[in-house]
Amino acid sequence: MTEWEQTIIRPFAPKGMGLYIRAFQKRHGTPNEFAKKLADNGLLWSAIGGPWHDGSGDRWINSPDTIKRYAEAMARHGVTPHIWGYPWHGRINTFVDELQSCMIPEIEGWLHDPELGLKNHPEDARLLVKRSREQNPYYVIGFTSYGLPRGHGTFPFDEFAEPDVYDPVIECDYGSPQLYDTPPKRILEGMREYSELGFDVVIPSFGNYKFVKKDPTLPLRGSNRRAVSLSADELTRHLNYFMESEVPVNAMIGWAENFVHRAQWRVIAEHAELLNAGNYAR
């Protein structure tokens, strides 16, 4: 064990209600206006989109300067900012360096979103965890990906979590199963599977959207799907399913802020109050 590994103290995973933030646009207003909106609706944390790497190349969801401006404003309003990014095999070092270029003291961690790009690439997954800890040994490192691991046998989940181990050197601080447009029974299964994988803290990623048909005469799949916002009642039902989880729920994060309309904000605020008071799940 190296000297820096011996000094790591596991940071605290996020608590309360959060939202993924995609590309900032004019509709978001100034950093201060947007941060106040999050705080007024009970959010305690957020994950701001940063670097995105895929098979076609690399790009930024938001530039480092934009991330820093909004993160500073969020922190002033009591909303803890994190950065999320999408890594790809063969470019892990660049990805981590880009995340590091966004860092300011107000940002408390990274939320990695590896999916297709790390299937069949356990060595890249291992490097992602290692480089992340080396860069930020005292910050929160989270993981989000496929919500039902058993359906993705070629994905190296075991590089991000270790059963019966509590060691920040070799595993992430929390796992966030993507349970967006997911049937109720599968939501509970996803929570349980992430816990069994060895994630010491499970923070579900819920969905603010659903898929509908572009062409009503064709099946709902592939290119015939488009994402639309859930109604307030639909979001309430979706969030209520997580309250049945046997795995403790002390934090949640919604995909994504761009789907949240006025009626959804009311639902989010209500559930944020339950979460923040510790009255969620069993």
Question: What was the pLDDT predicted at 11?
Answer: 64
pTM given for the model: 0.95
CATH for the 3-276 domain, from 3.20.20.80, 3.30.160.110, 3.90.550.10, 1.10.10.10: 3.20.20.80
Per-residue pLDDT tens over the stretch 108-135: 999 999 999 999 999 999 999 999 999 9
Domain boundaries, the chain: 3-276
Helix (H/G/I), strand (E/B), else coil: 50: strand
Residue 267, sorted as left (phi over 0), alpha (psi -120 to 50) or beta, turns out to be alpha
Mean pLDDT (whole number) for 3-8? 48
Residue 4 has pLDDT above 50, yes or no: no
Per-residue pLDDT tens over the stretch 137-196: 889 999 999 999 999 999 999 999 999 877 777 899 999 999 999 999 999 999 999 999
Q: Where are the alpha helices (DSSP H) in the chain?
A: 3-7, 31-40, 64-76, 92-100, 122-135, 184-197, 232-242, 262-276
Per-residue pLDDT tens over the stretch 225-264: 999 999 999 999 999 999 999 999 999 999 999 999 999 9
Question: What was the pLDDT predicted at 209?
Answer: 98
Residue 227: both structure tokens together: 């994402």
How are the residues of the chain apportioned to helix, strand and coil, as percentages rounded to the nearest 5?
A: 40, 20, 40
pLDDT tier at 91 (50, 70, 90 boundaries)?
Answer: very high
Percent of the chain with pLDDT over 70: 95
Per-residue pLDDT tens over the stretch 28-60: 999 999 999 999 999 999 999 999 999 999 999
Average pLDDT, the chain: 94
